[in-house]
Amino acid sequence: MGELKQVLFASANKYAILENDLLKYQSKYLLTSLALLTVVSSNTQAVEFEAGEWETEVRIEFNGAIFPVPFFTEKCLSPEDPIPNTTANNSNCNISDVKDSDNKLDWTLHCDDEKGTLHGVGGITFENEGFTGVMEMEIRDDEGELENKHRYHMSGVRRGPCKE
């Protein structure tokens, strides 16, 4: 029984350290990561889904652990603008390589600023009035050195017609 307590304590301690690392990461990179989600794409194709107000839940995976607190966004998705979590224009970011087929949508994201670059490859699959997907991200400093890799796990649900 004592060995089990040690294993549980070590696991809890490792989780606390990881959670602390995630909080540091969150404060340092979340604004940058959210910036990537503020890009509007105008060159997308029509993927099959029902346009409307969509709520997206995003969970960040960092070093193999999923950050315990998700963040949520809402956006009116349309055939002209089907990529979730894009709430405003960001001149430092570009979405490219947009591909769709039936209910699947894939894209590449690249952001540049004086602090470095952010590159991501994402994709979602629409099913009924929901979607799931993943976006793989790399953050590099201004010298091109890899600082961080993380993954966004996205799930969305259509809430109704667009609010506007």
pLDDT, tens only, 6-59: 433 343 343 344 444 444 444 444 433 433 343 333 344 567 889 999 999 999
pTM of the model: 0.68
Contact call for residues 57 and 72 (beta carbons, < 8 A) = yes
Q: Which two tokens stand for residue 113?
A: 């600023």
Window from 28-42, 57-71, 106-120, 132-146 with minimum mean pLDDT:
28-42
- What is the pLDDT, as a whole number, of residue 90? 61
- What is the pLDDT, as a whole number, of residue 92? 82
- What is the pLDDT, as a whole number, of residue 91? 67
Instruction: Look over the chain and give the mean of its residue pLDDT values, rounded to a whole number.
Output: 75
Residues 6+ apart with CB under 8 A from 21: 62, 63
Angstrom distance (rounded) from CA 37 to CA 136:
13
Contacts of range 127-136, beta carbons closer than 8 Å, 24 or more positions apart: 127/103, 129/50, 129/157, 129/158, 130/155, 130/156, 130/157, 130/158, 131/49, 131/54, 131/84, 131/155, 131/156, 132/156, 135/109
Tokens 């070093």 sit on residue: 63
Tell me the mean pLDDT in the region 78-93: 72
Q: How confident is the model at residue 137 (pLDDT cuts 50, 70, 90)?
A: very high
Contact call for residues 111 and 56 (beta carbons, < 8 A) = no
- What is the pLDDT, as a whole number, of residue 143? 93
- What is the pLDDT, as a whole number, of residue 128? 84
Tell me the mean pLDDT in the region 83-96: 70
Tell me the mean pLDDT in the region 72-101: 80
Largest CA distance in the chain: 60
Contact call for residues 141 and 116 (beta carbons, < 8 A) = yes
